[in-house]
Amino acid sequence: MCWGLTWPIAFTEVNSNNEIQWELNYPDFVWNFQAFRQTWETGLFSTNFDTIDYGYYHDYIPWPVIVTITNQSDDEITINSASNHSPAFSLATQLPQTIATQETKNFIVNFYPEGLGQQDFEDVITFNYDSYFGDDSLSRRIARQVVLKGTTIDPSSIDAFEKRSVGVFPNPTSGMVEIHSQEGIIEQITVSNIFGEVVQQQPVSSGLEFNLDLGELANGIYFIKIKLQNHDQQIVKKLIKR
C-alpha cells in the first residue's frame, strides 16, 4: 500500500536486461492505492476437466459437477477466490481452500439457469491464489481455468441440434444412448462420473454414429467425452441416467 500527494504515478517492472515486463499508471490523484499484477501459472496445476458441457438443463435444482484441482507445485497454495461472469454458473464450495503440494482438492461448480430464459450459456471459471512479497506487494496468480457450457434450448429441435457438432440422445436415458457427429469420425468414447472417474471406455473403429449402452451403470450424472479423428480436444457432453 502506498500514500502520496503527487501524480501521475507509475509502477514499472523490468527484467535483468532492463526490458519492461509490465507497467501500471495512475494518471489522476488518489490518496492511497494497492498495486497487484496477475500472472499465469497453469503449468503447476491440473484439473479433471478442461471443459464441462452440462448439456440441456430441464430441472428445478442446481446441477453440480466436481472440479478436482491437483497441486503439482513444490509449495502449498490456498485458492482464495474464483470468478466467472454468467449467473447460470456458480461455485458452491466455500473459499478459501488450501491444497498441499502434490495433493488434490474438490470444488463443486453448479449450473442453475432457472429463470434466465432459453439460450446457450458459455463461461470460464477462474481459480486464483495469491503470492505476497513483503507486507503489501501482491501477485495474484491463476491456478486453473475451466470452460463451462450449458443450454436451456431443447435439443430435440432441429435448429438446436444443427448448432452442435455432436449430439447425444436421449438425455436423460435409461440405458441406450445414440451419439451423432456432424464434425468428424468418432474415434473414442469415454464415460466419467461427476468425480472425473472413468467408468466406461469404448474405442470406435469408424463412423459418424455410435450406440452406447449404459444399462449397467447406476443412476446419476455422467459426462461423455467424445474424441474425433483429427481433433486435438475432446467434446464433453453431460448425461443423466435414470
Mean pLDDT split into 10-residue runs, the chain, 242 residues: 50 60 53 51 80 80 88 91 93 95 94 89 91 63 89 62 68 88 83 84 79 90 83 76 88
- Residue 5, pLDDT score: 47
Task: Show Cβ contacts of residue 52 under 8 Å, excluding neighbours closer than 6 positions.
Answer: 65, 67, 109, 146, 147, 148, 149, 223, 236, 238
Q: Domains, the chain, ranges and CATH?
A: 2-34 (no CATH), 42-51+60-151 (2.60.40.10), 165-241 (2.60.40.1930)
- Residue 237, pLDDT score: 81
Does this model's pTM top 0.75? My answer is no
Rounded CA separation 206/230 (Å): 13
SS3 160: helix
- Residue 26, pLDDT score: 52
Task: Show Cβ contacts of residue 157 under 8 Å, excluding neighbours closer than 6 positions.
Answer: none
- Residue 57, pLDDT score: 81
